[in-house]
Homo-oligomer: A and B are copies of this chain.
């Protein structure tokens, strides 16, 4: 049921999908769904919360490694993890406004934790002189927006392999946080 709901939410949006559609996808009547979820809102919330928790749990935090390697690991992890769950990523970013206030607060907090991990790496790197960033918060959001955008177009069977995409994004992020060469073009 969660899989069916996820696919439908991702394709049509939470508000546009009815319990009857989900039930039909599962091959069951609408009433039967209520043995597995108290209501429609909880269905969305559970999907989002478990996704964010898995994301945080899977996130590598090798704080012993050099910051540049930590950053590279973060970039590659983000792309790879999100590639495995495109629908979940999609609704986690798109359906925030469909959450009731209490549920929204929970998800927002989990998201904040994730962003903080990246921001910490940038701050430490900036302190060590390894990175040159302006505002770390802005850089954090810029990187995450850029990485998350991958899910909107990346398809495993497409022109570029996952590895190639990771390489290119790491290249771009690496340049972004490193001082540019002094030269006139």
Question: Chain A residues in contact with chain B, CB under 8 A?
Answer: 11-16, 66, 68, 94, 97-98, 129-130, 134-135, 138-139, 141-146, 148-150, 152-153, 160, 165, 167-169, 171-172, 174-181, 185
Contacts and interface: CB of A to CB of B under 8 A. Distances in A.
Report the copy number of this chain in the oligomer. Answer: 2
A160 B177 CA distance: 19
Nearest to A139: B172
Given A146-B145, A174-B180, A168 B13 contact: no
A146 to B, nearest CB: 4
Contact of A138 (B98, B165, B181): B165
Closest 8 CB pairs of A and B: A145-B149, A15-B15, A15-B16, A146-B146, A181-B181, A134-B168, A172-B176, A130-B185
B98 A13 contact: yes
